[in-house]
């Protein structure tokens, strides 16, 4: 039989290489609900975040991620807008973090993640319980449960001749592989703890806790979900009348891959306009900026400058987030 090379995505599913199976986020410090269900409900209003992430621009079928995250405090009381009352002037400062009281929050996340010849669509619901440790400190317990649909995209895979990559083959083994592929639906459960105050936060979370214990769908595709763990911490430092610094760190781990480390330093002006610089170990340097547009809207943008060998083929990555704050 002629020698062939089956190219699927970046040669094989990411799970075969034990790489990160869930999306990573450059703006994790300002959108912690997407990495930890216990962070839902830190603010006492309905928080809606829409985000998109495009990695390795210039590389065919590079990872693309879109998500929608919503958290709703159960004791939320909407505040209706009266156009006859001027509610703000000048820059819109960050919403206040309130501690020292018991809070219940529900939420939901919708995620679409595509990498090469593989696509994942997921939906999960979240519940978080916030317990007061003191007047200035709360501890939150969060859990999320949902379902993910995992698909192999045959039109993004091909068979190449390793002797002449410009030629393609119709191969019986490959055709059999394609014909036996189908969507797999997998139950996903995650949980987390989150300790926070007005200036301090620290959390730990885990995703895909049940791996593929509950799944249904036909075909031979093995998406092999692995448990993922995140640890995050940060502290806000007042450096002047209008300036604050917030250093933070995010540790990500999936066995047997090594620990991945992200560090961020964000500078806020008047709790309104923010800039940031981040570093993802051996991967990228990240520039960030954002602002509160109004009492209801906020946005953030970040650019990843690739440090790895992908820099020869990629023009970096972009991440954009838009936030809606209802009932501030």
Are residues 29 and 302 in contact, defined by beta-carbon separation less than 8 angstroms?
no
pLDDT in tens, 222-251: 778 999 999 999 999 999 889 999 999 999
133 CB-side CA count, 13 A: 10
**What pLDDT score does 220 carry?**
66
The domains found in the chain, sorted by start residue, are 5-326 (2.40.160.40)
How confident is the model over 202-216, as pLDDT tens digits? 999 999 999 988 988
Phi, psi of 192, rounded to the nearest 5 degrees:
-165, 165
Name which of 269, 272, 266 is nearest 298 in CA terms.
Answer: 272
pLDDT tens digit sequence for 79-93: 555 544 444 455 788
Residue 5 confidence (pLDDT): 38
> Reduced to 3 states, what is the DSSP secondary structure of residue 227?
coil
Q: Which DSSP letter does residue 155 get? A: G
pLDDT digits (tens, 9 = 90+) for 255-314: 888 899 999 999 999 989 999 999 999 889 999 999 999 989 999 999 999 887 766 777
What pLDDT score does 63 carry? 87
Structure tokens at 324: 């809606």
- Per-residue pLDDT tens for 48-64? 999 999 988 877 778 89
Higher pLDDT, 20 or 140: 140
Q: How far apart are the C-alpha atoms of 317 and 207, rounded to whole Å?
A: 24
| Residue-wise pLDDT tens digits, 166-215 | 665 566 666 666 666 778 899 999 999 999 999 999 999 999 999 988 98
pTM for the model stands at 0.85
CA 253 to CA 262: how far, in whole Å? 12
């Amino acid at each position: 039989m002629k020698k062939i090379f089956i190219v699927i995505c970046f040669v094989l599913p990411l799970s075969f290489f034990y790489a990160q199976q869930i999306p990573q986020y450059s703006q994790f410090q300002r959108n912690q609900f997407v990495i930890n269900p216990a962070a839902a409900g830190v603010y006492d209003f309905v928080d809606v975040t829409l985000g998109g992430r495009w990695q390795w621009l210039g590389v065919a079928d590079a990872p693309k991620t879109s998500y929608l995250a919503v958290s709703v405090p159960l004791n939320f009381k909407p505040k209706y807008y009266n156009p006859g009352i001027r509610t703000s002037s000048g820059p819109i400062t960050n919403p206040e973090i309130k501690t020292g009281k018991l809070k219940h929050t529900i939420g939901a996340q919708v995620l679409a993640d595509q990498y090469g010849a593989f696509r994942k669509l997921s939906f999960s619901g979240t519940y978080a319980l916030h317990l007061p440790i003191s007047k200035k400190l709360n501890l939150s317990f969060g859990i999320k449960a949902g379902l993910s649909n995992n698909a192999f995209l045959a039109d993004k895979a091909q068979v190449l001749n390793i002797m002449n990559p410009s030629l393609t083959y119709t191969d019986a083994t490959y055709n059999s592989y394609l014909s036996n592929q189908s969507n797999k639906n997998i139950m996903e459960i995650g949980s987390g703890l989150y300790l926070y105050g007005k200036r301090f936060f620290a959390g730990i979370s885990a995703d895909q806790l049940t791996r593929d214990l509950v799944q249904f769908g036909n075909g031979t595709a093995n998406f092999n979900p692995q448990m993922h763990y995140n640890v995050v911490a940060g502290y806000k430092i007042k450096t002047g009348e209008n300036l604050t610094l917030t250093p933070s760190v995010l540790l990500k781990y999936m066995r047997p891959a090594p620990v991945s480390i992200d560090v961020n330093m964000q500078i806020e002006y008047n709790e309104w306009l923010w800039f940031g610089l981040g570093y993802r170990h051996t991967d990228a340097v990240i520039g960030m900026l954002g602002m509160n547009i109004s009492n209801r809207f906020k946005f953030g943008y970040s650019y990843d400058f690739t440090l790895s060998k992908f820099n020869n083929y990629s023009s970096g990555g972009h991440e954009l987030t838009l936030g809606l704050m209802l009932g501030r």
